[in-house]
Amino acid sequence: MWNRIRALIIKEFHAVWRDKKSRFVLIVPPLIQLLIFGYAASFDVNHLATVIFNEDDGLPARELVARFEGAPAFEVIGHISREAEIAQVIDPRRARLLIHIGPTFSRDIRINPPAKVQLIVDGRESNTSLIVLGYAGRIVADFNSEWAKSHGEPLPPAHLVVRSWFNPNLESRWFFIPGLVALLTLVVTIVVTALSVAREREVGTFEQLLVTPLRPLEILVGKATPALVIGVAEGTLIVIVGILWFAIPFRGDVGLLYAGLVVYVLAVIGVGLMISSICRTQQQAILGAFLFIMPAVILSGFATPIANMPEAIQHLTLVNPMRYFLVIVRGIFLEGLSTELVFRQLWPMAAIALVNLAGAAVMFRHRLS
């Protein structure tokens, strides 16, 4: 039995690797995605086009403007002098932030505080506007405390001291690149397994496989093993690029990461084989894979937190293996997640993997007999 399975595994590897197209699929798209994603996927704001509308030529106003000009998040691209011009720069998206300082600013700050500074942001991109308002608020708070200090005015009775664990500079990239290990491994593993049977069926070699002495379960093992190796290798590739190229810190245990990766890939293989046994053509398999990948990625916490979803949808995410692996891979990269915490994510994923593989086995047998 093991000889037969081994022969099938070797054949599967050949099938994937010999074919120029499938080799291309394994290497080129993941790398392109890693590079584009690595550089494009970010919620950080920098060089935001900013326009100043300063009606006050006093020193305090100029000092405040200088603080905005010195901040890397903002790039002052111009000045306006009339209120009517505000819409002319915000509407066409020439500027995303407008800082308006009224004519009485310098007088108010000395005689009649508080002086007002008006910030107008473009809400069409809501996340950017929130971040921008946060940055701007901090700039004004810094200005305030320095002003109070240098003018002998009382500081507010309490102040915030913010520290960020695991990612002190709050870089989005540290969040997204470990996430890509989960995403790209998912995509490659699904495509390899979903297409493997569909392709054979289209070409007609699947019938040939059926007349061999191989039993359905053996065929399943033979199809799953190469996918496991390929999925784990893909994950490894992304981990290495993440550490060496994108300089993401790796603080946890490699063994735990691989335990998670293997269980994750097994869970995904189960889904891929199920798709494979349903679909009759490659086109259906591609669409099927796509129909699984899209919701799996969206409902995993990859780009936006699960906690922000409506409760019913949050329950739905519990059957998504990617959800658990994302916690593991990000935790191991950034937080040095402990064995106990990894296991808390591992066992639901293992249960999902078992159900998926068993489901695939049943569907396979059903399909074959």
Partner 1 sequence: MRLRGLIRKETFQIVRDPSSILIGFVLPVVLLLLFGYGVSLDAKHVPVALVIENPTAETSSFAASLAGSEYFAPQAVPHRPAAERALAEGRVQAIVVLSSNFTRQLPSADGAPIQLIVNGTDANTARIISGYVDGAWQNWLEHTALDAGRALAPPVIVEQRVWFNPEVSSRNFLVPGLMAIIMTLIGTLLTALVVAREWERGTLEALMVTPVRIGEFLLGKLIPYFVLGMGGMAASTVMAVWVFGVPFRGTFLVLLLVSSLFMLAALGMGLLISTVTKNQFAAGQVAIIVAFLPAFMLSGFLFDIASMPTVVWGITHIVPARYFVSSLQTLFLAGNIWSVVATDMAALAMMAVFFLGLTRRKTRKSLE
Report cis status (omega within 30 of 0) of the bond before 114. yes
Which of 5, 26 has the CB closer to partner 1?
26
Which of 13, 147 has the CB closer to partner 1?
147
Which of 194, 357 has the CB closer to partner 1?
194
Sign of the Cα pseudo-torsion (355, 357, 360, 361, in order): negative
Looking at 78, 103, 123, 255, which residue binds partner 1 (CB under 8 A)? Answer: 123
Distance between CA 288 and CA 190 in Å, rounded?
10
Which of 53, 357 has the CB closer to partner 1?
53
- Which residues are within 8 A (CB) of 260 and not within 5 positions of it... i.e. 6 or more apart? 324, 325, 328, 329, 332, 342, 345, 346, 349
Which of 92, 213 has the CB closer to partner 1?
92
Q: How far is the CB of 338 from partner 1 (least distance, A)?
A: 8
**Choices 51-59, 119-127, 247-255, 357-365; region in contact with partner 1 by CB under 8 A:** 119-127
Tell me which residues in 176-235 interact with partner 1 (CB under 8 A).
195
Tell me which residues in 143-172 interact with partner 1 (CB under 8 A).
143-144, 147-148, 151, 153-168, 170-172
Q: Which has the closest alpha carbon to 265: 299, 287, 238, 304?
A: 238
Q: How far is the CB of 101 from partner 1 (least distance, A)?
A: 9
Looking at 2, 18, 82, 92, which residue binds partner 1 (CB under 8 A)? Answer: 92
| Binding map of partner 1 across residues 288-327, x = CB under 8 A, - = no contact | --x---xx--xx---xxx-xxxx--x-------------x
Q: CB 164: neighbour CB atoms within 10 A? A: 8
Task: Sort 39 into a burial class: Cβ within 10 Å, 0-12 / 13-18 / 19+.
Answer: exposed
For position 339 contacting partner 1 by CB under 8 A, the verdict is no
Size of site (CB under 8 A) for partner 1: 106
Distance between CA 171 and CA 42 in Å, rounded?
8
According to DSSP, residue 332 is labeled I
56 in Cβ contact with 23 (< 8 Å): no
**Choices 211-219, 224-232, 245-253, 330-338; region in contact with partner 1 by CB under 8 A:** 330-338
Provide the Cα torsion 90, 93, 95, 96; round to 10°.
90
Looking at 26, 96, 276, 346, which residue binds partner 1 (CB under 8 A)? Answer: 96
**Choices 203-211, 226-234, 249-257, 277-285; region in contact with partner 1 by CB under 8 A:** 277-285
Q: How far is the CB of 335 from partner 1 (least distance, A)?
A: 6
Task: Sort 163 into a burial class: Cβ within 10 Å, 0-12 / 13-18 / 19+.
Answer: exposed
Q: Which has the closest alpha carbon to 143: 99, 182, 95, 103?
A: 99
Q: How far is the CB of 97 from partner 1 (least distance, A)?
A: 10
Q: How far is the CB of 341 from partner 1 (least distance, A)?
A: 6
Q: Specify the DSSP element, H or E, that contains 2.
A: helix 2-18
Tell me which residues in 6-25 interact with partner 1 (CB under 8 A).
21, 24-25
For position 95 contacting partner 1 by CB under 8 A, the verdict is no
Distance between CA 117 and CA 54 in Å, rounded?
10
Looking at 9, 15, 80, 130, which residue binds partner 1 (CB under 8 A)? Answer: 130
25 in Cβ contact with 15 (< 8 Å): no
For position 335 contacting partner 1 by CB under 8 A, the verdict is yes
